[in-house]
């Protein structure tokens, strides 16, 4: 008579333990989903910020912007060409 009672008690303990483990795992999965959603939202925001910064880089590095900055700093267009009068050979035969 004691063996069936111990077996039932053991099985109920195992069922209770497995139920607690299942609840814990379900909670972890639900929390992971929230964290994953936050990370995806941050990723999208960083992609938007990255494209805006790329547009600013293109605007600042455009030739018209560079020419305007050079003019503001006092640089002017070169009016005469610089020519070397003595030609130096590229290679000297030995």
Q: Where are the beta strands (DSSP E) in 1-94?
A: none
Note the pLDDT tens digit of each residue in 1-43.
Answer: 588 889 999 999 999 999 999 999 998 888 888 888 899 999 9
Tokens standing for 28?
């972890």
Note the pLDDT tens digit of each residue in 43-72.
Answer: 999 999 999 999 999 998 898 888 888 888
Q: DSSP 3-state helix, strand, coil percentages of the chain (rounded to 5)?
A: 75, 0, 25
- From 8, 28, 32, select the one nearest 20 (Cα to Cα): 28
Domains of the chain, by residue range, sit at 8-72
Q: What is the pTM of this model?
A: 0.50
Alpha-carbon gap, residue 25 to 27, rounded angstroms? 5
């Amino acid at each position: 008579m004691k063996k069936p009672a111990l077996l039932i008690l053991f099985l109920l303990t195992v069922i209770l333990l497995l139920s607690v483990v299942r609840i814990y795992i379900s909670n972890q999965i639900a929390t992971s989903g929230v964290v994953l959603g936050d990370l995806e939202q941050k990723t999208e925001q960083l992609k938007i910020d990255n494209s805006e910064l790329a547009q600013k880089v293109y605007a600042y590095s455009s030739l018209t912007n560079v020419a305007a900055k050079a003019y503001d700093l006092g640089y002017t267009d070169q009016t005469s060409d610089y020519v070397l009068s003595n030609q130096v050979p590229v290679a000297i035969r030995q």
